[in-house]
A and B are shown apart, each in its own frame.
Chain A
Amino acid sequence: MTDASTNSAPAARKGASLHRTDPRTRRRNGAERRFRLYGAAAISMGLLFLCVLAVSIIRSGAPAFTHAVVEVEFTLSEAQFEEAESQLLKTAVYERYFNAALTAQLRDAGFDVAFDENTIRRIIGKTGGTIRSYYRADPDRVGESVTLDLPVSSRVNGYIKGRVTRENLLDSRFLTQADLDLVDAMRDRGLIETKFNWGFLTGKDSGVDNPGGAGIGASVVGSFFMMLVVLVLSLPIGVAASIYLEEFAPRNWFTDMIEVNISNLAAVPSIVFGILGLAVFIQFMHLPQSAPLVGGLVLTLMTLPTIIISTRASLKAVPPSIRDAALGVGASKMQSVFHHVLPLAMPGILTGTIIGLAQALGETAPLLLIGMVGFVARQYPDGVVDGFLDPNSAMPAQIYTWASRADPAFYEKAWGGIIVLLVFLLAMNIVAIILRRRFERRW
């Protein structure tokens, strides 16, 4: 009350009209308006960056999901099959059959261009092996008329998608200007079509020389087995550790130290966990290199602090009155925790776990050191046990491998891989939101 006398402009308040804002109020309102503006600007900037990122990822990655294929009607007679299999160079015979069929088909379509085997090779690649394995996989197809969709070579694919242009193409043993004339003509007549590339989603990684055949499927499986290991280990260990620390452990310097160290662990660079994994799991325990099991163990170490911190936060958020109520009716400490506190903390725990898993799913650095990067995931694991123990890649490791390969077609694959990874992350976050909604209870 005595403040009024020390106020510099008390007279302005007294008797002043409410219809006129005094300068002080105006200044305050101005400050508030500016602050809102800053906030809106910050959010817009964030959204803008997000949009730019999303657009650039989708633009660069979308081509990985389509590929150009040559559709060829082809019939292999019983006699041809017998003959080819009796030769020494079997694939060459298949290639000859195929080229004959394709030439005939092109003639029918009205081509009068002179082309040889090499042209076809340059456009479609070596077809013999593909065709032979196609028929050997299902011998019943011999004698039937089938339509083969053969993906074009990566350079022709690049030409069709616009990555390779006539201007920047130098005639080489890989592709010539004349080949492009043929490609254009084939596209005009509908012999080359662009189709959705299922092979990218289901396929395995290919060698450096065949970007067209590379798919992310095998590494999705690798990531899946890793996440399984992470989930099975980190959720029970993390939740048990946090319950003990939060509800049962005495507060002393030792638990304080553990607490500080858990927070520190959450901030340790992931590559350090990679080195630890290499030293402990591979060099000391002799677990197999490049195996999803080892990857999962390393990522478990990384995920644990995240899960512990979020679990403890959600346990703390349960009102103490609930604990009192349970203890008050004679529940033991453990009963009060497991019957009342834990169910209420569940949404938070699940969200934290899924966010930890999502982090682990996108982690590349620790995988560098345990040999999951650079490993070419050429095959799917044969079973569940092999899924854990056979060398495999993981999605982010696969993306990294592709991005470091020379052929620009792999660059496109890397972007496509990023899209697949982001779709998985998005799906996990949606699951987290749904679980949170479902389990959330008010008290």
Chain B
Amino acid sequence: MKVIDMYDAPHTGRTVTSNDIKISARNVNVFYGDNHAIKDVSVDIEDKMVTAFIGPSGCGKSTFLRCLNRMNDTIESSRIEGTICIDDEDIYDRRVDPVQLRAKVGMVFQKPNPFPKSIYDNVAYGPKIHGMARNKAELDEIVEKALRRGAIWDEVKDRLHAPGTGLSGGQQQRLCIARAVATEPEVLLMDEPCSALDPIATAQVEELIDELRQDYSVVIVTHSMQQAARVSQKTAFFHLGNLVEYGETGKIFTNPEDSRTEAYITGRIG
């Protein structure tokens, strides 16, 4: 894998290597009742790489993201067809327990949603229910490591037992990221993680996402094309439930193949 210079403009010198395939979706169709939300989407998401889903509102990118850790199971009217494999295992197989899957595929949501508990408890909750720590010292260690990964340790180390809801929006979102990585997932799904944050907090979270790429395969849904361009190596463009174009971020933004992608990127649809 080569070094990637993130902060270059997307059209200059961006280099992307190909990694192992982490998630592979084939002919995925999702229905909400009668509404056909995802139409025949096939995509391969690579390991240790940031993949961005872009597209206008209601295009199905969040829906598809939520298929990857079966969060759509909680919506009763939803129905999914096709296969999604993580490490060549079908996650919709009958033998798969969604709870186990979600420990492997962490998720960060659009709105920061810390539990109304202490910062420590927020992060410790996942490791606790998965039995990852044998004693308090181990748990402390896991919490510290997760908070460091979430790039929030220095800000909260003196007030670990203060409520997580008392943090600022950007800190809350980084806390949620720390909470998600605490269970040591292999894939991290992010559903518009910066939409509720100011530019400074956004920059911090984006920087964090880039660091997380070292260990995780990150899938991020975003409304901001600049953000997709800044943080991702691969970009998928969704439109009206279809996966229109999928490829290297640099190419999507500079030389899209599909006219719809071009129209969206230049601001003519969306």
Which residues does A use to contact B, with CB under 8 Å?
250-251, 319, 321-332, 335, 339-340, 344, 441-443
A327 to B105, CA, bound (A): 11
- Size of the B side of the interface (Cβ < 8 Å), in residues, is 27
A443 to B130, CA, bound (A): 25
Find the A residue at minimum CB distance from B100.
Answer: A330
- Asked if B102 contacts A330 (CB within 8 A), the reply is yes
18 A–B contacts, CB within 8 A, in A order:
A321-B109, A322-B116, A326-B125, A328-B69, A328-B102, A329-B103, A329-B106, A329-B129, A329-B179, A329-B183, A330-B100, A330-B129, A331-B99, A340-B115, A344-B116, A441-B116, A442-B165, A443-B165
Which residues does B use to contact A, with CB under 8 Å?
69, 71, 74, 76, 99-100, 102-103, 106-109, 111, 113-116, 125-126, 129-130, 165, 176, 179-180, 182-183
Knowing that A327-B74, A328-B180 touch, tell me 14 more A-B residue pairs with CB under 8 angstroms. A322-B113, A324-B107, A325-B113, A325-B179, A326-B115, A327-B71, A330-B102, A330-B103, A330-B129, A331-B99, A335-B129, A339-B125, A339-B129, A442-B165
- Asked if A325 contacts B176 (CB within 8 A), the reply is yes
- Asked if B106 contacts A321 (CB within 8 A), the reply is no
Chain A residues with CB under 8 A of B100: 330
A307 to B179, CA, bound (A): 35
- Asked if B111 contacts A321 (CB within 8 A), the reply is yes
Chain A residues with CB under 8 A of B74: 323, 327
- Asked if B165 contacts A324 (CB within 8 A), the reply is no
A335 to B99, CA, bound (A): 11
- Tell me which of B99, B106, B111, B115 has the highest count of chain A C-beta atoms within 10 A of its own C-beta: B115
- Asked if A324 contacts B113 (CB within 8 A), the reply is yes
- Asked if A328 contacts B129 (CB within 8 A), the reply is no
- Asked if B116 contacts A442 (CB within 8 A), the reply is yes
- Asked if A251 contacts B76 (CB within 8 A), the reply is yes
Chain A residues with CB under 8 A of B126: 329-331
- Cβ distance A185 to chain B, nearest Cβ, rounded Å: 72
- Asked if A324 contacts B115 (CB within 8 A), the reply is no
- Cβ distance A15 to chain B, nearest Cβ, rounded Å: 39
Query: What is the interface of chain A mostly: helix, strand, loop, or mixed?
Result: helix
Per CB-CB distance, the 9 closest pairs between chain A and chain B, nearest first, are: A330-B103, A329-B126, A321-B113, A328-B107, A443-B116, A330-B102, A325-B113, A441-B116, A332-B99
Chain A residues with CB under 8 A of B107: 324, 328
A331 to B100, CA, bound (A): 9
- Asked if A324 contacts B109 (CB within 8 A), the reply is yes
Find the B residue at minimum CB distance from A443.
Answer: B116
Find the B residue at minimum CB distance from A252.
Answer: B76
- Asked if A330 contacts B76 (CB within 8 A), the reply is no
A319 to B116, CA, bound (A): 11
- Cβ distance B182 to chain A, nearest Cβ, rounded Å: 8
- Tell me which of A251, A330, A339 has the highest count of chain B C-beta atoms within 10 A of its own C-beta: A330
- Cβ distance B162 to chain A, nearest Cβ, rounded Å: 13
**Given A330-B129, A335-B129, A339-B125, A325 and B109 contact (CB-CB distance below 8 Å):** yes
A441 to B103, CA, bound (A): 27
- Tell me which of B71, B113, B180 has the highest count of chain A C-beta atoms within 10 A of its own C-beta: B113
A441 to B71, CA, bound (A): 26
Chain B residues with CB under 8 A of A323: 74
Chain A residues with CB under 8 A of B114: 325
- Cβ distance B100 to chain A, nearest Cβ, rounded Å: 7
- Cβ distance A39 to chain B, nearest Cβ, rounded Å: 35
A251 to B78, CA, bound (A): 13
- Asked if A328 contacts B99 (CB within 8 A), the reply is no
Residue B180 contacts which of A329, A331, A332, A441 (CB distance < 8 angstroms)? A329
- Cβ distance A409 to chain B, nearest Cβ, rounded Å: 56
- Cβ distance B175 to chain A, nearest Cβ, rounded Å: 11
Chain A residues with CB under 8 A of B113: 319, 321-322, 324-325
- Asked if B129 contacts A331 (CB within 8 A), the reply is yes
A344 to B125, CA, bound (A): 16
A327 to B114, CA, bound (A): 13
- Asked if B125 contacts A329 (CB within 8 A), the reply is yes
**Given A250-B76, A323-B74, A330 and B130 contact (CB-CB distance below 8 Å):** yes
- Tell me which of B71, B99, B114, B180 has the highest count of chain A C-beta atoms within 10 A of its own C-beta: B99
**Given A251-B76, A330-B102, A330-B103, A325 and B115 contact (CB-CB distance below 8 Å):** yes
**Given A335-B129, A344-B116, A443-B165, A327 and B111 contact (CB-CB distance below 8 Å):** no
Residue A330 contacts which of B99, B109, B111, B115 (CB distance < 8 angstroms)? B99
A220 to B222, CA, bound (A): 64
Chain A residues with CB under 8 A of B129: 329-331, 335, 339
A326 to B102, CA, bound (A): 10
A321 to B179, CA, bound (A): 14
A81 to B100, CA, bound (A): 86
A441 to B114, CA, bound (A): 13
